[in-house]
Structure 1
Amino acid sequence: MALQDEKLSKFIQAINKDAEERRARILAESEAFNKAELEKAETEALTDAYHLIQQEISKMRTGIRRDLSQKELKLHRAALLKRGEITKDVFDEAKKEIEAFTKTDAYPAFLEGLAKEAAKLFPKAEVTLYLREADLPLGGDLSKLFSEGCQVKADDSIRLGGFRMECREFGLMADETLDTRLDSQHVWFAEHAGLSVEPAKAN
């Protein structure tokens, strides 16, 4: 009887040992599997987070570029408006100075000098001299500078002073108006006044 009990005990021990080994192996496999799955999940989470961060960074960069572009356009427009205001002020002041000059005693002599130079360039033919209404009283003296005859007419398009000349016989014209001289200074002023505005960059 004792021998049977001993055999049974050893059999039970062997079964328990096998069960423990199986349990330990299953736990180890389960732990390894869980660890691998956790690492996989962590890797996927990190990858998703990286992609999300890259997307957000891309959105931020796009937004920043858009904001900068809008600010540059606003600054460009403001600079253009300011340049226009400065240019207008400068030329308005120049007009005032020209108008003041045409009221001085030096103005008739100035016109006479221009007419003498123009008379040298025009052929021996009758010319028409166009003056602003206020300068018509000076037309008589100016017309004497042209040996082949000179008609004097008013021209409402001349605002500041000076004159235009025309020789219809030869199809020649000359513009010695102060209006045209002042207008021609716009290009020079834009190039030399230091008010250039760089175009806004497109992003």
Structure 2
Amino acid sequence: MFNNMRFRPLEPLSRQLSLSDTNVTPQINRCAKLNLTAKQRKLLRQSFNAMNSGGTFLKLMEKIFRRLENKCPDMRSIFLTTAFVNSLSRERQTPPLVKTEHDHCKCMVGIFERLIDNLDNINEQLNMIRHYGEKHAQMAESGFTGAMIEQFGEISVFIIGSQDVVKFNHETVKAWRLLLACVTDEMKVGYDRMTRINGRRNSCNPPNSTVSGN
């Protein structure tokens, strides 16, 4: 269990999403608290470019999603159910949120490319991550949970942190842990916020309700 692995002293990477180990503080503006040093930004760029060459980072994302599906067996059916519902939607302005696992992996590669390209202006990009988390709230009715986002973050740090271009440099490991912890946190904040909003909407508009006097 990844949750149990967090506190094993011989596996420091497994404590990757403990916010006490980062400068990402809950309950306040998290975006402003991702204070990467110039050296950390440089190491993130160098290691990401190395991993992203030749499609390696895409393969890492695919590995992460496979691990996530093993950890959360309902994940594939949730994706497929949401994709089907979206395909029936009349809202055609944007493509469906969820299609295939491969589409998710390509999307995540694109997100990290934007993050790495904009490390000097990371706040705006993290707001985009929060919005991405909000979009996932539509999968809550199909069984998607915030815990799945946390699992994605934990698995991501474990797999990315095990790459040779990362694991042999302590500062590179720390930089990736900070970035991934903040990305995971922002995504879950967005998801939780929209889930609460949807819950209030549903409670105010119960099925088959009628307005008195009509």
Shorter-chain TM range is under 0.3
Which has the higher relative contact order, 1 or 2, with Cα contacts under 8 A spaced 6 or more apart?
2
Q: TM-score w.r.t. structure 1 length?
A: 0.26
In terms of fraction of residues, the more strand-rich structure is: 1
Q: Work out which of the two has the higher radius of gyration on C-alpha atoms and give 1 or 2.
A: 1
Q: TM-score w.r.t. structure 2 length?
A: 0.25
